[in-house]
Amino acid sequence: MEKDLKSKTLAELERLIAGLGEKKYLAGYIFSFIHMRGVPSISEITSLSKSFRGRLTSKGYYISKLEVIDKLTDPDGTVKYVFGLPDSNKIESVLLFDDDRRTLCVSTQAGCGMNCVFCATGRLGLSRNLTPAEIVDQVNIVEGDTHITNVVFMGMGEPLANYDAVLAAVRILNHPRRFASQKRSSGGKNIGIRRITISTCGLPDAIERLADEDIQPRLAISLNAPTDAIRRRLMPIAKKYPLDQLFGAVRVYQRKTHNRVTIEYCMIKGINDTAMHARMLVKLLRGVLCNVNLIEYNQHPGCSFNPSGKEVIERFAAVLKEAGLETTARQRFGWTINAACGQLGAI
């Protein structure tokens, strides 16, 4: 059983407290003290009686906290946080500034098992899944520096390969904040569900499972190719799940949720960036409610690919727009500190 109270949703805390023979509303105090006040230990949850705090501790319950071991800032303002885990693994989060938005890109695994050839994280391999607490605490700690408006599960790791922990983290981050005037507080981060995005390389079963949840964050698909042959070259997961299976799951998801998905497409010189590739992508996305983000490939040690260049990206985007696809060429942030898309883990 998970003993870290920071990993538990309010509903899980309520079941825990009721199972210990206490009033269920005490779970709200625990949840609020952890996620609004950031207390480091059970002893500091002063709304609980001293005897109950002692009983929780004696049963092995605790509150974890990530350790910041480095913090790097790019000239464009992007900030990369490097966190140390208790087992000596490291993870990274990236804070992006865009007008009034403060978007934090969080990791969900230490390393990654997907092995996408254009991604530095994939070269690390998978060490382990993160707990809900380790995911949420990335937000908690960075919020000590600035208010976070948006969270994207787009850092190290494949979020849907750590499904239960990611969904628990989504519920914790989305939980509403109750005001002090209310008798019982159970305040959370109150990050709007449409300001939370899960990005996946494409796990069909998990996408369909997500469609049946009672909570619906945004969904982004890391596609990167308009054909199975090109996608298999870039993303080993494509050997297991071809495009027809992936988009079959996307259509199930959209039929149930009516939600738009974001298609992420990393532009790699000479691989997937011609006008012909753009026309093939238009055909592939026909009937899919989506927008397309074009991402300039970010170089990192150990990979020989080159970025497409702005003119090529603009021509590619023009084909998509002419076909009626909402398309954005994303600006590259954090490149000098290895914080750009595909660079995490290349410290």
Catalytic residue ranges = 92, 341
CA distance 1 to 304: 45
CA-closest candidate to residue 171, choices 146, 189, 149, 152: 189
* Residue type for position 264: E
Quick one: how many helices (H) and strands (E) in the chain?
11, 12
CA-closest candidate to residue 200, choices 178, 222, 216: 222
The C-alpha angle with vertex 301 and arms to 295 and 303, in degrees rounded to 5, equals 65
End-to-end distance of the chain based on CA atoms, in angstroms?
34
* 274 neighbors 315 (Cβ within 8 angstroms): no
CA distance 193 to 170: 8
The C-alpha angle with vertex 144 and arms to 181 and 89, in degrees rounded to 5, equals 125
229 Rama sector, left if φ>0, alpha if ψ -120 to 50, beta otherwise? alpha
* 78 neighbors 65 (Cβ within 8 angstroms): no
What are 27's two structure tokens? 């779970």
Residue 306, CA atoms < 13 Å, CB-side half-sphere: 6
